[in-house]
Amino acid sequence: MDFAVSDLPDEEVLAPWQLDQERAPIATKVVVAGGFGVGKTTFVGSVSEITPLRTEALMTRASEDTDDLSATPDKVTTTVAMDFGRVTLDDDLVLYLFGTPGQERFWFMWDDLVRGAIGAVVMADTRRLTDCFAALDYFESCGLPYVVAVNHFEGTTRYEAEDVRDALTVPADVPIVIMDARERFTVVESLLALVTRALEKTPA
């Protein structure tokens, strides 16, 4: 049965490329990692074109000794499995975003979440840069392309990308993006930087 775009409800209108039977979209997997409270859930949620899947649980007094809330005193929930979202970056490029849990007790899940990914966005908070070292070490050791996205929190000092590179001793060829996880445009910029990096690192 043939149908036209006008036959669909407003919320289900398809893009022209979706109606082209000879052109299939390229679906890729991207991991969003980083320390506890760095903004991974916000990152995925601000750019996802579907309602993001979140596995958040209320924080309790039992985590007081392990979860440092000094930089994020208003945080009341934490991701305990993953965040999931989807964004279309181009007519035929769809990214599936998987946000990792930040606390060390959940790191055992990273191997499963990373499987099949083209690359990772490592988020960093300049108030506690050491929190992203584990993610940097992980992706360096497994050889997965990555970029560093510095989440600029309101009221904090804004640093230049090269200053962050020096502090983290990130290789010169790894892109560093200064962004705000609440701003869709800057999140898209981070993802575009990662896709470019992954293409550069993928053997021809």
Task: Quickly count: other Cβ atoms within 10 Å of residue 131's Cβ.
Answer: 19
Res 69 pLDDT > 60: no
CA distance 148 to 150: 6
Q: Report the percentage of the chain scoring pLDDT > 90.
A: 49
Highest mean pLDDT among 58-67, 110-119, 187-196: 187-196
Closest CA to 39 of 127, 142, 145, 140: 127
User: Token digits for 45?
Assistant: 């949620």
- Residues 77-87: pLDDT tens digits? 444 457 889 99
CA distance 107 to 81: 10
Cut 0.85: pTM above it: no
- Residues 27-60: pLDDT tens digits? 899 999 998 889 999 999 999 998 877 555 444 4
CA distance 88 to 96: 9
Highest mean pLDDT among 31-35, 51-55, 112-116, 120-124: 120-124
How high is the pLDDT of residue 26? 81
Res 142 pLDDT > 70: yes
More confident residue, 54 or 161: 161
Provide the residue ranges of all domains of the chain, joining segments of one domain with +: 24-55+77-199
Which CATH code fits 24-55+77-199? 3.40.50.300
